[in-house]
Amino acid sequence: MLACEGSCDMVHVIPTALILLMGPFICMPAMAADLNWTNALDLTIEGRGWNDQTSGWSRLPDYADQMLPATLTWIGQQNAGMSIRFTSDSPSITVRWTLKGNVFQSRHMPSTGHSGVDLYVKDKTGWRWASCKGTSGMVNEETMIEFLDPYVTREYRLYLPLMNGVTECEIGIPDLGFEIEPVQEDVRKPIVFYGTSITQGMCASRPGNCHTSILGRRLDYPIVNLGFAGNGVMDWYVADIMGELNAAAFVIDCSPNMNGWMIDERAVMFVLRLRALQPNTPIILVEDRTYGDAWINDVHHLKNRQNRESLMRAALELKSLGVEHLHYIRGDELLRDPTETTVDAVHPTDFGFQQYADAFEPHLRAILGPGNAVIQKIMDTMIK
């Protein structure tokens, strides 16, 4: 600081000049004091397969309780894979969300992934991570991002909790004439994943790091996540409700919740039931992933082997019955190094989920074909 001799007016002049120069930046946090709130249900909701038949935040339709047991409808109210899409020219984005469940984290999963929200912004390179906030209470309000250039319209995607559900969610922007609008709904057929807690996203550190969400961004394609922790066991009634969806592909990844005899008993019937409702939709059967300790734990090693043998038998039987558009992913494709990619030998880390996405991506690209926007962009680049 400059020394002041005599009058100390200069002490006041310098801060005033700095304030004038930094005004646009200094005022941004103050804007958050008075926010204009938008109900997120009035924006674009992605990842809800029955969008027109779901009035709230469930992944399932309002009538699901007439078709499914209470355990599944309860898990269906957890928001795995769901995201809110919108545009805004605001210099800050604040989120206020109220949770349905009063458990905010687990012994091996932080609140950021379990019950938090995760913000991405789209630029010319695609979707890029911007912010994630966890929670320690039922009602939460967090400024996700701030100090942005005002009046520059950006596209956002806010992922909702993986293992909890919201009962209310609002997006807040400064009440200074900024705008927030829903994006145009993506009407393409979604890729539908059905499976276990792994499919649901346990134990990703944040919602956007579940492999189904990673794939949605990589492929620039809508995804519906029907992961049911502890309950992805190829129940016939799940095939019935899934069969209502006009999907681009069905991914069946239930082996981690099953054993060999369950797969022998259920897999063929499940696929036949689903195929009867959706005769031409590709169905991908996914083998059991490799336990992180299967190299030393004989029980886990045996279960991996039995589950894979059972699912392969089911796939061969389905082929012999004339079931077409059936695809298969082997378990050893999912985690390239199982000893370094799980939290508890069962659930992937963020690194593990990236490897899951790597395994699924080429299969899905092949199924989606050249009509997929991402593949078309790559082809266009090669032609040029």
- 144-154 mean pLDDT: 97
29 lies in some domain? no
| 281 and 308 part of one domain | yes
- Asked if pLDDT for residue 80 goes beyond 70, the answer is yes
- Asked if pLDDT for residue 373 goes beyond 70, the answer is no
| 170 and 255 part of one domain | no
- Asked if pLDDT for residue 376 goes beyond 90, the answer is no
| 217 and 163 part of one domain | no
| 213 and 275 part of one domain | yes
pLDDT tens digits, one per residue of 253-302? 999 999 999 999 999 999 999 999 999 999 999 999 999 999 999 999 99
- The total number of structural domains in the chain stands at 2
Which pLDDT score is estimated for 371?
A: 53
Token pair listed for 360 = 């699924």
- Asked if pLDDT for residue 323 goes beyond 50, the answer is yes
| 128 and 105 part of one domain | yes
- Asked if pLDDT for residue 16 goes beyond 80, the answer is no
Token pair listed for 5 = 């001799």
The model scores a pTM over 0.95: no
106 lies in some domain? yes
Which residue has better confidence, 22 or 313?
313
| 45 and 163 part of one domain | yes
| CATH code assigned at 208 | 3.40.50.1110
- 222-239 mean pLDDT: 98
Which pLDDT score is estimated for 6?
A: 44
223 lies in some domain? yes
- Asked if pLDDT for residue 329 goes beyond 70, the answer is yes
| 174 and 195 part of one domain | no
Which pLDDT score is estimated for 369?
A: 85
- 123-147 mean pLDDT: 96
| CATH code assigned at 109 | 2.60.120.260
237 lies in some domain? yes
| 75 and 167 part of one domain | yes
| 102 and 81 part of one domain | yes
Which pLDDT score is estimated for 77?
A: 97
Average pLDDT of the chain, as a whole number: 91
Examine the fold and report which residue of 182, 215, 238 is the final residue of a domain before the chain moves on: 182
**Closest Cα to residue 94, out of 161, 46, 40, 25?**
40
Strand order in the sheet with 139-145: 35-39, 166-174, 93-99, 139-145
| 209 and 176 part of one domain | no
**Closest Cα to residue 118, out of 221, 232, 216?**
216
In this structure, is the dihedral angle defined by the CA atoms of residues 58, 64, 65 and 71, taken in order, positive or negative?
negative
Examine the fold and report which residue of 145, 163, 182 is the final residue of a domain before the chain moves on: 182
Which pLDDT score is estimated for 106?
A: 93
27 lies in some domain? no
Which pLDDT score is estimated for 28?
A: 46
Expressed as residue numbers, the domain containing 161 is: 35-182
C-beta of residue 289 within 8 angstroms of C-beta of residue 345: no
Question: Residue 136 — very low, low, confident or very high, per pLDDT cuts 50/70/90?
Answer: confident
Examine the fold and report which residue of 142, 163, 182 is the final residue of a domain before the chain moves on: 182
- 149-155 mean pLDDT: 98
| 162 and 201 part of one domain | no
152 lies in some domain? yes
Which residue has better confidence, 207 or 6?
207
Which pLDDT score is estimated for 313?
A: 98
Which pLDDT score is estimated for 33?
A: 55
| 40 and 165 part of one domain | yes
Question: Residue 23 — very low, low, confident or very high, per pLDDT cuts 50/70/90?
Answer: very low
Question: Residue 358 — very low, low, confident or very high, per pLDDT cuts 50/70/90?
Answer: very high
